[in-house]
Amino acid sequence: MKTDIPLKLLTALRGADLLPLLGLPAASLVRVETRELPASATRLDTLLRVRSPQGQDYLHLVEWQGYYDPAVLWRLAGYVAWFGQQEPGTTVVGTVVYLAPEYDVGDTLTQVIDGQVVQAWPVGRIQLWTQDAQAALAANSLGLAVLSPLMRNADASLVEAAARMVVAQAPPTQQGDLLSILGTFAEPLLQPRRFMNLVGREKLMGSGLFDLLMQEREAELRDKLREELREMYEAKLREHEEQLRRQQEEQLRRQQEEQFRQQEEQFRQALQQTLEDTLLIRFPAAPLALVRDIRRIQRPSELHRLIVAVQQVPDLAAAEQLLHAAAQPTDNGA
């Protein structure tokens, strides 16, 4: 599950809701800032400018950690140091939020020489899985409600309650993005189709994050298809060359041709199945008639063209027109 973009967007949309999670229940959020580090061109979207109860402004950097990285504490310390150099008169603190136990590398940068600790730098740490999901939902905070599927005691009914809270309380401009983020976090607890039926496709389709996640998924699918096709082509070429080398007489040639024909058929069927899968991933409500159209298409090059084209069409109607046209006999050469 990719969490980096949803978590950064959640911080931008509901940063004030997250202050209690960061141990700052009495502070107020001045604004969420985006900074770019010139050395690596890394853009940070989780920098909070916070005001203390006594009116002091300071920077609080949040590092959401959704994968194992032994260098995360060094990275966070480096960010804090860089911001401190830019604003030497401003207090800068950092917190790493671990999403799962397997990502947790601790809360202290400890330097040891010959078995002796010579320096130790503590870093704020939150173990999200130790937070109580029901309590987060009861706090009546949209930011915590959206995060609640990642917490302890989360289940499908909690996800449904969180979704209803977002629909009831979130501003219309935030609903689509917050629901998309919630659906991303809730995927292990609630099937995506059930979640979509719960909140309504229209609300999700209006989310810029939903579009971005779909683009990422389509890009992953294209890369996977490209790699699989390359491997298939290379494997077929190697096998063909080996068969040609061993060919000694007409009988062997006929056997080779028959085997090649069968492989071509299997390859065609695989491309047809890939095209079906691609269609259903983009348009789950596609009619069965389109599957019949796909089965009428025989030429591998045409199937490969359609796999790419179906990923690019704007809607189901365009996909139907594309596949109907391709299934006509005049476009269906052997």
Q: Among 3.40.50, 3.30.70, 1.10.150, 3.40.1350, what is the CATH number of 4-130?
A: 3.40.1350
Question: Do residues 167 and 179 touch, judged by C-beta distance below 8 A?
Answer: yes
CA atoms 216, 221, 226, 230: torsion sign: positive
CA distance 130 to 65: 15
Place of tokens 């004030």: 16
Instruction: Tell me what pLDDT residue 259 has.
Output: 81
Reported as half-sphere exposure (CB side, CA atoms, 13 A), residue 203 has a value of 25
Bridging pattern class, strands 116-122 and 108-113: antiparallel
**171 φ/ψ angles, rounded to the nearest 5 degrees:** -60, 150
H-only helix segments in the chain: 4-14, 72-86, 133-138, 142-147, 156-169, 172-186, 192-199, 201-205, 208-246, 250-282, 288-296, 300-310, 316-326
CA distance 66 to 187: 15
Mean pLDDT of successive 10-residue stretches along the chain, which has 334 residues: 74 87 86 70 73 93 91 91 90 93 94 92 93 94 93 93 91 86 86 79 61 59 75 78 70 74 85 87 85 86 87 88 83 43
Instruction: Tell me what pLDDT residue 94 has.
Output: 92
Three-class SS of residue 49? strand
- Sorted by sequence, the CB contacts under 8 Å of residue 6 that are 6+ apart come out as 180, 181, 184, 185, 209
Beta bridge partner(s), residue 47: 33, 61
Beta bridge partner(s), residue 61: 47, 94
Residue boundaries of the structural domains of the chain:
4-130, 133-206, 217-331
CA 150 centroid distance within chain:
15
pTM score, two decimals?
Answer: 0.58
Tell me the DSSP string of 269-328: HHHHHHHHHHHHHH-TT--HHHHHHHHH---HHHHHHHHHHHTT-SSHHHHHHHHHHHTS
Q: Which of 169, 161, 159 lies closest to 14 in space, CA to CA?
A: 169
H-only helix segments in 1-96: 4-14, 72-86
Buried b (16+ CB within 10 A) or exposed e, 27-46: bebeebbebeeeeeeeebbb
Instruction: Tell me what pLDDT residue 47 has.
Output: 86
